Amino acid sequence: MSIIGGLTPIEVTYRRLQRGTQATTNVLAVVGAAQEAGVPFVINGFISLDLMVAGDAFLVLEEIRDQDDATYREYGRTTYYNVQTSPMVWFEPKVCMGWRVRIQRTAGADRNVTYQFIGG
């Protein structure tokens, strides 16, 4: 398995940690992803929206691979606005064979988002 940071999806093996920083843009960008062809795994983690300010809006999507193990389907969608008093967005553990989080700035300025995901 290869580990690649930034906008490229990341494959993780069991007990592998992904962490880093991702800049937002006005298009959906992958923050982190995990896939294990034909092998279910557990994944969870968080992103931090602590750099948001008044006037910012970020769309966060969580997606899971469908039964065909190739197509991502939306699991959850939330838009966050302005300064976040509780900036840590937690993604509950999921058992799946493919998972990813994407983010998009829909208002305001681009900001860095930190993240940490663990698969096992």
- In the prediction, which pLDDT does 3 show? 40
Write out the two tokens for 14: 């069991």
Contact 30, 9 (CB under 8 A): yes
pTM, to two decimals: 0.83
What are 35-91's pLDDT values in tens digits?
877 778 899 999 999 999 999 999 999 999 887 778 899 999 999 999 999 999 999
Share of the chain above pLDDT 90, in %: 63
Q: What's the structural domain count of the chain?
A: 1
- Structural domain span for residue 103: 16-111
For 69, which DSSP code?
S
- In the prediction, which pLDDT does 2 show? 37
Using CA atoms, how far apart are residues 43 and 99, in angstroms rounded to an integer? 8
- In the prediction, which pLDDT does 4 show? 40
Write out the two tokens for 18: 């992904």
Contact 89, 7 (CB under 8 A): no
